[in-house]
Structure 1
Amino acid sequence: MSAELNPESTAFRSALEVVRSVEPRIADAIAKELHDQRESLKLIASENYASPAVLLAMGNWLSDKYAEGTIGRRFYAGCQNVDTVEAVAVEHAKALFGAEYAYVQPHSGIDANLVAYWAILADRVEVPYLKKFSKRQVNDLTDAEWAELRAAFGNQRMLGMSLDAGGHLTHGFRPNISGKMFDQRSYGVDPATGQIDYKALRDTAKEFKPLIIVGGYSAYPRKVNFATLREIADEVGATFMVDMAHFAGLVAGKVFTGDFNPIEHAHIVTTTTHKSLRGPRGGAVFAQESLASQVDRGCPMVLGGPLAHVMAAKAIAFAEARRPEFATYAQQIVTNSQALAEGLLKRGVQLVSGGTDNHLVLIDVHPFGLTGRQAEQALLDSGVVTNRNAIPNDPNGAWYTSGIRIGTPALTSRGLGAAEMDTIAELIHTVLSSTKPAEGSKAKFQLDESVSDSVSKQANELLAGFPLYPSVDLG
């Protein structure tokens, strides 16, 4: 079958023709994005490539529907098809993760976390408080009683991983709304190993007595023992929440099992649906059945109308992840990540925690005399797309940083394997060792153009053997 006749090429070509008839610049930007992604050595740990089926599921008439509420209990009429879409997405999500309950409406990982936080607050604070008033309705509370309830909600405590150890802004840090909702304290890593210090975490939890303990990360290159974290949460009477946004694909693909599977141990689990899960940009919440009624209040408590077209794409992604080949893919992500780490280590590159157990590697660029911002841009100029990231006790702070975070989900989707990871390690080392900081600047640097051109050429030659979306020809 010719490229012009295969379903994927026909679908995307036709879609761009329709877009072009209204605004050619948008059509050009969409086509250019595919070109740029095909030419980029994408090592951003939080990015991936969704399948054509996932992408196409988002561009349709479901986008036109308002559907506040839950399945069968909408605030708008005519939502029977949205009910079907959401029910199918929930069915696949529960089966994929072995969860008691799934909520697929969140628009993002941040939204999913907010839904979870408010569900916990409602379960742990609001419901016990309202029991004081017997059968009275919430709307019947006096102003003084509302003030009392708001005070009960305020200053609840959260314990989460520190930002420089690999935590996320949504785990109680001031720039995010979660840092304004909660009195937050952080746990970190052992300076000697770069890995979570569970004893120190337990001691902090016993002293701080948080309402919520948050597990999960955005830049921690090791497994987390969720069984141990649940033990600590139970000891101090905390609700245990896990944000598995980064490694959901490794859970779905049965790479993380037993003590390392958060679904088996947490009261409530949140995730994004892109990243290692390879779906659309969006979020989801998994919870024990006892929290279901509180999570169902996510819309309108936190969310606006659910995006039915994105829920359709989530259903496709969950269905794809239930196929046997996804487990093979998930395992290859970790195999590739470890091969990339080994390639860097043997070239003398310093890694936080000395390696990786998951999909990401965290490089300490300080020994090269660089900041993360300088290293990030030098690599980008050489065709290697990464992002700067803070490392434990980072002297350069969260903006300039001293680290570079790299991940393998996207390149694994393209079919690259361990041998290619060693080549990529060589390219990264070449750029970092050839880059010199500009005097007096944490952002500017010097890199000979011949080096960046050579690395870019080698990257393109490597990627040529692993075409991105080979079934899609835009002509």
Structure 2
Amino acid sequence: MSVITQPTDVLRQQDPQMADVLAGEQQRQAAGLQLIAAENFTSKAVLAALGSTLSNKYAEGYPGSRYHGGCEYVDVAEQIAVERAKALFGAEHANVQPHSGSSAVLAAYAALLRPGDTVLAMGLPYGGHLTHGSPANFSGRWFDFVGYGVDAETGLIDYRQVQELAHARRPKAIVCGSISYPRHPEYSAFREIADEVGAYLIADAAHPIGLVAGGAAPSPVPYADIVCATTHKVLRGPRGGMILCGSEFAERVDRAVFPFTQGGAQMHTIAAKAVAFGEAATPAFATYAHRVVANARTLADALEARGFAITTGGTDTHLITADPAPLGLDGPTARGRLAAAGIVLDTCALPYGDQRGIRLGTAAVTTQGMGEPQMVEIAALFARALRGDGAKTRTEVTDLTREFPPYGE
């Protein structure tokens, strides 16, 4: 039986232009500090599944009930992914077909809501996602979103405001989750408020789900009717989404994913998700998840010592959001100077103001093997880069990352 080997060599021979692009991206990832909170490095096993012949297979439907023949192996792959996800998160049902986190949220809304329904979610200026009511997104066009915010002094979710808005607007669903809130949501408080007004509770756990898998964050599964998540970020799997729910919503969720919002499942990605779920069930991953949080807290403290204003006063997760205004910079300017030094991160909205801050995460650098001493060093690199010394700092960044190659030598 022949085995496909050395795909990069094949690509180099057949399409050297694209091979150069892939090689350049691999070098970019290895030579810089990848601090985008939504990114990570997958294992080689996950990459192997993504590049497998499962990408050739069309498989509309679900295991045992496909619209195409020849699904005997992909059925097994999806069943493995589903069972591993259920066991990992303690869920009664899992759907691993969503192509992305946004696709998972769309399916959750489709399962529970109808166009025009009122939904309560974190407002975009406070860290809400596009799928939480942006007018540029399907969510803002199809549903009546009401945004809750955070306390002006602490930066923490104002649960009294959530409760008051819920009673005033009587939403059909409440969404808890954010792209830039560095603290753990109080899922029990959201559940209580949802029950008070007869609303569904949807948890958008795209960012913390990997920490949940490693026991480094509380789980929304016991509280939410539906949990939407991504399989990349801290979870360290392929880019994609998933949905967890109780058995009472299983059929509605499955129909909302297929055939309502998606067609054929991406079976190579589903196989890669199964690999990632298996990795996340190991003690080594639990150690990793806790190290991610420890690194984030150390980095937040070190950045604060360098003059950054850290929102909420710190972090419970992999996320850090910071305001560089005390240094005389806005978020976009800071991001540009850091990028020139090989430090890659995002900007984000800051509560109660039009300015933008920076958002970063420690998942990828922790995967590389960096620890708390390196977080202190990274904060020093931030300070030098923001002073405009990009070229020298870039050399120091390269020296640091050379010690921690993402895929070994």
Amino acid at match of 1:267: D
> 1:230 deviation in Å?
0.5
1:201 aligns with 2:155: no
Cα-to-partner distance string for 1:222-258 (whole Å, 9 max, x where unaligned): 111101101000111000000111111110001113x
1:24-423 → structure 2 map (5 Å cutoff): 24-121=16-113, 153-257=114-218, 261-297=219-255, 298-396=257-355, 402-423=356-377
> 1:463 deviation in Å?
1.6
Inter-partner Cα distance in structure 2 for 1:346 and 1:314: 39
Inter-partner Cα distance in structure 2 for 1:394 and 1:272: 29
> 1:346 deviation in Å?
1.7
Work out whether residues 162 and 186 of structure 1, in 8 Å CA contact, stay in contact via their aligned partners in 2: yes
Amino acid at match of 2:116: N
Determine which of 415, 427, 437 is the counterpart of 2:381.
427
Inter-partner Cα distance in structure 1 for 2:277 and 2:154: 36
Inter-partner Cα distance in structure 2 for 1:163 and 1:365: 20
Amino acid at match of 2:307: G
Inter-partner Cα distance in structure 2 for 1:211 and 1:306: 29
Work out whether residues 108 and 228 of structure 2, in 8 Å CA contact, stay in contact via their aligned partners in 1: yes
Cα-to-partner distance string for 1:421-454 (whole Å, 9 max, x where unaligned): 011111112333x2xxxxxxxxxxxx3xxx1112
Structure 2 length-normalised TM: 0.97
- Matched residue SS, 1:406: strand
Work out whether residues 237 and 276 of structure 2, in 8 Å CA contact, stay in contact via their aligned partners in 1: yes
Larger Rg: 1
Amino acid at match of 1:169: L
Work out whether residues 213 and 233 of structure 1, in 8 Å CA contact, stay in contact via their aligned partners in 2: yes
Amino acid at match of 2:192: E
Cα-to-partner distance string for 1:380-431 (whole Å, 9 max, x where unaligned): 00111111111112324xxxxx200011000000010011101111111233
Work out whether residues 219 and 362 of structure 1, in 8 Å CA contact, stay in contact via their aligned partners in 2: yes
Work out whether residues 100 and 287 of structure 1, in 8 Å CA contact, stay in contact via their aligned partners in 2: yes
- Matched residue SS, 1:388: strand
1:465 aligns with 2:403: yes
Inter-partner Cα distance in structure 2 for 1:394 and 1:113: 28
Inter-partner Cα distance in structure 1 for 2:72 and 2:80: 13
Cα-to-partner distance string for 1:291-342 (whole Å, 9 max, x where unaligned): 0001111111001210001000000000000011000000000000000011
Amino acid at match of 1:310: T
Cα-to-partner distance string for 1:62-95 (whole Å, 9 max, x where unaligned): 1111111111111112211111110000011111
- Matched residue SS, 1:285: strand
Q: How many residue pairs align between the two structures?
A: 406
| Cα distance change on mapping 1:366 and 1:348 into 2, 3 Å | closer
> 1:181 deviation in Å?
1.4
Inter-partner Cα distance in structure 1 for 2:277 and 2:367: 16
Amino acid at match of 1:61: T
- Matched residue SS, 1:105: coil
- Matched residue SS, 2:175: strand
Inter-partner Cα distance in structure 2 for 1:311 and 1:394: 41
Structure 1 length-normalised TM: 0.84
Cα-to-partner distance string for 1:18-38 (whole Å, 9 max, x where unaligned): 112221111111122111111
Inter-partner Cα distance in structure 1 for 2:305 and 2:347: 22
- Matched residue SS, 1:325: helix
- Matched residue SS, 1:256: coil
Which residues of structure 1 form unaligned runs of 5+?
A: 1-9, 122-152, 397-401, 435-446
Segments of 4+ moved more than 4 angstroms: none
Inter-partner Cα distance in structure 1 for 2:14 and 2:77: 29
> 1:205 deviation in Å?
0.7
Inter-partner Cα distance in structure 1 for 2:376 and 2:81: 38
Amino acid at match of 1:431: A
Work out whether residues 43 and 407 of structure 1, in 8 Å CA contact, stay in contact via their aligned partners in 2: yes
- Matched residue SS, 1:91: helix
Inter-partner Cα distance in structure 1 for 2:46 and 2:115: 40
Inter-partner Cα distance in structure 2 for 1:52 and 1:11: 15
Inter-partner Cα distance in structure 1 for 2:244 and 2:12: 40
> 1:11 deviation in Å?
8.0
Work out whether residues 349 and 429 of structure 1, in 8 Å CA contact, stay in contact via their aligned partners in 2: no
> 1:369 deviation in Å?
2.8
Amino acid at match of 2:34: K
- Matched residue SS, 2:221: helix
